Amino acid sequence: MLRLALVLLATPAVSAGMTTEPAPAVAKDVAGPVVIPPLPRSDPRNWATTNDLTADMARRKLRGIVGFALQIGPDGGVAGCKVTATSGHAELDELTCALLTRRAHFVPARDGAGRPTSGLYSGRWRWM
C-alpha cells in the first residue's frame, strides 16, 4: 500500500510529519514588503492523498519528493505553482502542482500596513 506524507517548508507551525524552514526574508509586492506570510486555511496534509494517484501510478509504485513553490494571491488563492525540485517522475510533479493549485487555500500574506498582498509558500510533498 502506498503512503503519502507531506513535508512543508515556510510554515510557522509544525505538526506531525511536517518540517519547516524560513521563508524568504522579504517578498516585495506593490503594497510593500510582506510582513506576515500566507498561512494555510486547512491542514496541508489533506491537500492530496494516495487516492489521487492514477491506477497506473499506483501500479508502478511511483514514489518521490516534489519540491514546490506556490504564488499566493491577495485573495488567498493559489495563483501559480512551480516545481522547485523534481521527484524524478514528471507525472508526480505535475499531479502535485495540479492538486495544490486546486485544493490549497490561504489566509493571504499581509504587508506592513496589514493589507492583504501576494506571497510565497514553499514546501516538499512526499509521495511514498
- Residue 72 forms part of a structural domain: yes
Helix (H) or strand (E) holding 106: strand 106-107
Question: How many Å apart are CA 17 and CA 21, to the nearest integer?
Answer: 14
- Residue 53 forms part of a structural domain: yes
Q: Indicate if the pLDDT at residue 103 is higher than 50.
A: yes
- Residue 21 forms part of a structural domain: no
Q: Which tens digit of pLDDT belongs to each residue from 47-65? A: 999 999 999 999 999 999 9
Residue 70's domain spans which residues?
A: 1-10+49-128
Split into its structural domains, the chain has a count of: 1
- Residue 23 forms part of a structural domain: no
- Please tell me whether residue 4 adopts helix, strand or coil conformation: strand
For residue 80, give the CATH number of its domain: 3.30.2420
Tally Cβ neighbours within 10 Å of residue 127: 24
- Residue 29 forms part of a structural domain: no
Q: Which tens digit of pLDDT belongs to each residue from 10-56? A: 333 322 223 333 344 444 445 567 789 999 999 999 999 999 999 99
- Residue 30 forms part of a structural domain: no
Q: What is the edge-to-edge ordering of all strands in the sheet holding 109-111?
A: 34-36, 109-111, 116-117
Contact status, residue 4 vs residue 126, Cβ threshold 8 Å: yes
Question: How many Å apart are CA 61 and CA 35, to the nearest integer?
Answer: 41
Q: Indicate if the pLDDT at residue 124 is higher than 80.
A: yes
- Residue 33 forms part of a structural domain: no
- Residue 32 forms part of a structural domain: no
